[in-house]
Amino acid sequence: MLTAARRRLAGYAGLAPRIGGAVLALALAAGLSGAAQAQEALTPAQKAERLFHGYDRYGGKYSYGPVAEENGVLTVRNLKYEASAPWQDPRRPDSPKQTLTLKLTVETVAARRYDYRNPELPRFADVTYRGIRVGGSLFDRMGGNRFAAAFGGDEMVLDVVQTYEADPAAGSIELKAGTVTIRKVLRFDLTGRFDGLDFARLTDPKLLEKLGPGSAPSMPPDAAVATILDLLGDIRIHRLSYALTDLGGVGRMLAVMAAAQSAKNPDGPKVTAEMMRQGLAAGLAGAIDRFSGSFAPKMLGSTARWLLEPGMLTIALRPDRPLPVNGIVGFVGAFVAKMRQAKGQKIGLDPVQKFLGLSVSYTPAAR
């Protein structure tokens, strides 16, 4: 029972950041900070058009409703976006091609600070997207409909915040807030500082077309990984923090999983969400014995506490020196290979913790 539960939990947890990440990526698609420039000469309507610069790529279509500006905050209501692209199952090269669609509606977009003067590559932004609803066949193929059904609703509503400062000349970016909230489910917070970015390449129309809606799902997994590493491998991470806050989603996931387990054995004792929660936490606690060193107990203990009681689980990287993504991938790959060879032996995660400056912590929800 526990193994199946872990698989389902991993599947649901993996889907949510992909969907939220796709929405955040669309928000960043208008560009990627320098000192704010005087932009009073632009009307609210002109600012809105520059804010959504690039949304018509990949055959995308967009429209929006009323636009207003008050106290320096541009507010746009009723944003609608739709794009379509050919798709073919990467596992079946002989399968028929299909057309996948991605649809978004956004209740409110609020730009508190934005580099309207450089719409192709904005150097700074502080923008909030509230009331995002995602649909279309691409969303369904990613499992979005199953995800929504698992939480007892017909749709998911998201809020996204992006706040960053970028220096294209230096190839650096500081992400102050990259937040995706799935209401009543989970919140994902990403912050960090990076350099080594080739902004000219990242905004290459050919690359953007290759990675546009519908293209990535058609790539074989190995090709997708190779493309991403080729694109991002030279980026150096100065610091990175990823936080996952439970807004009720863990309990609802476990309830769905418990119901599925009970349905498999209707004559047996009923499985409850609390039993699933306790079982997963106990499994993590039991896994501590497989590791040596001081870091594994902290990591597994924090994760178990997050499962037992709503709060925030934070994973942070603060290496002694900036680390390139390729270097991290190589180190982790070598470490995993070493783990596979160490059958029956305890494995120490302390070298990984030291190399990455890695920390994992749990913060209980405010009462």
pLDDT digits (tens, 9 = 90+) for 170-203: 999 999 999 999 998 999 999 999 999 888 877 7
- pLDDT at 220 exceeding the cut of 80: no
- pLDDT at 36 exceeding the cut of 70: no
Per-residue confidence at 287, pLDDT binned at 50, 70, 90? Answer: confident
Contact by Cβ (8 Å): 134, 106: no
pLDDT digits (tens, 9 = 90+) for 69-115: 999 999 999 999 998 877 777 777 787 888 888 899 999 999 999 99
Residue 2 pLDDT: 42
Query: Cα separation of 145 and 156, whole Å?
Result: 9
Residue 143 pLDDT: 76
Residue 115 CA, chain-centre distance (Å), reads 24
Contact by Cβ (8 Å): 110, 130: yes
Residue 364 pLDDT: 92
Sequence-separated (6 or more) residues with CB below 8 Å from residue 267? none
| Of 251 and 222, more confident | 251
| Of 164 and 267, more confident | 164
pLDDT digits (tens, 9 = 90+) for 118-161: 998 899 999 999 999 988 887 887 777 777 777 766 678 999 99
- Average pLDDT of 304-328? 93
Residue type, 331: F
| Of 294 and 267, more confident | 294
Residue 190 pLDDT: 96
- Joined together, the tokens standing for residue 50 give 């520059």
Residue 209 pLDDT: 60
Q: Show contacts of 217-222: CB within 8 Å, 24+ apart.
A: 217/87, 217/90, 217/100, 217/138, 217/141, 217/142, 218/86, 218/87, 218/88, 218/89, 218/90, 219/90, 220/90, 220/91, 221/90
Per-residue confidence at 13, pLDDT binned at 50, 70, 90? Answer: very low
- pLDDT at 313 exceeding the cut of 90: yes
Residue 35 pLDDT: 38
What percent of the chain has a predicted confidence (pLDDT) above 70? Answer: 82
Please provide the DSSP assignment of 187-206 as one string. Answer: EEEEEEEEE---HHHHT-HH
